[in-house]
A = this chain, B = another copy of it.
Amino acid sequence: MGSNLNMAECPAMETIALIGGRWKVIILHVLSKGTRRFGEIIVRVPSISRKVLTEQLRELEADGLISRVEYKTLPPKVEYTLTAFGKSLCPLLSYISAWKRDSEAGLSSDSL
């Protein structure tokens, strides 16, 4: 408590807060391929529980990265889609992935 001053001054930290959840990168990646239902997401994110998936989706929604549309059919159907804001994250995630793969290609990681 009382240590969030830094956050406010550090855009990189705010971004990490947005995508730093245990499963958020994978969920975002799944949704980058298109709209998906709850059940479609869960089978594509191995070993996540329904409770945790629900939590992560709610947070992503609260942060404006995804939208949730509920159809009042039986059985229920809920669709999740990246918002424009969420889509704007995709190049960033690609960049992050690419950095990791490049670093594994051995350029500078064996300096120790």
B-contact bits for A93-112, CB 8 A (1 contact / 0 none): 10111111111100111011
B-contact bits for A3-32, CB 8 A (1 contact / 0 none): 101100011111110011001011001000
Q: How far is the CB of A75 from chain B (nearest CB, A)?
A: 27
B19 touches A16 (CB 8 A): yes
Residues from chain B with a CB closer than 8 A to the CB of A15 are 96-97, 99-100
How many chain A residues sit at the interface, stated as a range, is: 35 or more
With contacts A5-B47, A16-B20 taken as known, whether A92 is within 8 angstroms of B99 at the C-beta atoms is yes
Dominant SS among interface residues on chain A = helix
At the interface, yes or no: A46 with Cβ under 8 Å from chain B? yes
B-contact bits for A26-53, CB 8 A (1 contact / 0 none): 1001000000000000000111100000
B99 touches A85 (CB 8 A): no
At the interface, yes or no: A76 with Cβ under 8 Å from chain B? no
B5 touches A46 (CB 8 A): yes
Residues from chain B with a CB closer than 8 A to the CB of A109 are 64, 85
At the interface, yes or no: A88 with Cβ under 8 Å from chain B? yes
A6 touches B20 (CB 8 A): no
